[in-house]
Amino acid sequence: MPPQSPRARPLPARPPIAAATLHQPPLVRQLLALGLAVPGTEDTAAPSPAAAVAGAGPSLAERLAPWLAWTDAIALSGALGAEPPAPGTPAQAAAARHQAEATRAAVQRTLAEAIEHDLPDGLAADDLPADATPGRRYRAHQQAMERRIAPLRAQARRALALRSAALGRIAVLDRLLEQALAARERQLLSALPAWLDRRLAREPVPPATLTQPLLRAELAHRLQPVDGMLAALQAATGEVQS
């Protein structure tokens, strides 16, 4: 058998990932698969269902604590005790919910297609120089996600607030959490483009084998708050998500 060329050599073997990894959020799973995170050390991961049932591992509040300033904690506590916004009429609530669901589907489709074609949403084919590094292209995809998903998240909050007072309180909490966690999340995600360039400089593999799975996982991660709010709306109207 002829020897493999350097461009064909496989990625270095990595330690096996524990079964609990299957219960991690999509972005964490992809980081583990790519070797950017070490199993058992990622601080953004949620405990496995078995651990949660057994009471093992830190609580949600304990996991959030390192990410929040004391002023954030005060704001969140105040939101829990404050009077929620007044809901709208049933017709207003239904219209807002359907609009949010339609926008969510359109945003996900647009961004997924942009990832598939490696052309960040909102850019023309010649907007990025031909020699742009994979990391620079990745950052352009991240910026497109931020532009699209931030208004969508606000739209989902409006739909919650129109549905009921209880869901309105969830909308207020989501707004405060978005503000409190945005800087830390942006700091962590902004490290990915440089990491990709370093990784690809060491390993001559097609960039898409690393960038596309990671972008898809990041898209799912960024959409999670929206999906959670839409699921709460569906539960409030007695519908089951297909």
Over the chain, what is the mean pLDDT? 77
Task: Give the pLDDT of residue 61.
Answer: 57
Task: Give the pLDDT of residue 50.
Answer: 32
pLDDT digits (tens, 9 = 90+) for 192-218: 999 999 999 998 889 999 999 999 999
- Higher-confidence residue of 61 and 227: namely 227
pLDDT band at 219 (very low <50, low <70, confident <90, very high): very high
> Cβ contacts of residue 39 below 8 Å, gap of 6+?
15, 17, 18, 21, 32
Interatomic CA distance for residues 178 and 225, integer angstroms: 9
Specify the range with the lowest mean pLDDT, choosing from 23-32, 155-164, 173-182, 231-240: 23-32
Res 48 pLDDT > 70: no
CB atoms within 10 A of CB 39: 16
Averaged over 51-61, what is the pLDDT? 48
Task: Give the pLDDT of residue 104.
Answer: 97
Interatomic CA distance for residues 163 and 133, integer angstroms: 46
pLDDT band at 76 (very low <50, low <70, confident <90, very high): low
Q: Do the beta carbons of residue 118 and residue 112 sit within 8 Å? A: no
Task: Give the pLDDT of residue 60.
Answer: 55
Side chain identity, residue 19: A
Interatomic CA distance for residues 200 and 195, integer angstroms: 9
Res 187 pLDDT > 80: yes
Q: What is the CA radius of gyration of the chain?
A: 21
Largest Cα–Cα distance of the chain, in whole Å? 73
If phi > 0 it is left, if psi is from -120 to 50 it is alpha, else beta; for residue 203 that is beta
pLDDT digits (tens, 9 = 90+) for 140-185: 999 999 999 999 999 999 999 999 998 998 898 888 888 888 888 8
Q: Which residue has the tokens 């942006």?
A: 186
Q: Do the beta carbons of residue 219 and residue 109 sit within 8 Å? A: no
Element (DSSP H or E) covering residue 27: helix 26-34
Res 16 pLDDT > 80: no
Give the DSSP letter of residue 20. Answer: G
Specify the range with the lowest mean pLDDT, choosing from 17-26, 107-116, 162-171: 17-26
Q: Where are the alpha helices (DSSP H) in 7-84?
A: 26-34, 49-54, 60-64, 70-81
Q: Which residue has the tokens 């709306």?
A: 233
Interatomic CA distance for residues 72 and 74, integer angstroms: 5
